[in-house]
Amino acid sequence: MLIEKSIRAKKHSYSPYSGFSVGAALLTTKNKIYTGANVENASYSLCICAERVAYTKAVSEGDKKFKAIAIAANGKEFVFPCGACRQFMYEFGDDIDVIVVRSAKQFRIVKLFELLPGAFDKTFLKIK
The structural domains of the chain, ordered by start, are 2-125 (3.40.140.10)
> Which phi and psi angles does 126 have, rounded to 5°?
55, 40
Transcribe 34-80 into DSSP letters. EEEE-B--SSGGG-B-HHHHHHHHHHHTT---EEEEEEEESSSS--P
Report the pLDDT value the prediction gives residue 128, as an integer from 0 to 100.
62
Q: Are strands 66-73 and 97-103 parallel, antiparallel or unpaired?
A: parallel
* Active-site residue, selected from the candidate residues 4, 51, 91, 114: 51
51 belongs to the catalytic site: yes
Q: Enumerate residues 6+ apart whose C-beta is below 8 A from 113.
A: 90, 94, 95, 119
Note the pLDDT tens digit of each residue in 22-63.
999 999 999 999 999 999 999 999 999 999 999 999 999 999
Report the pLDDT value the prediction gives residue 127, as an integer from 0 to 100.
67
Would the pTM count as exceeding 0.85? yes
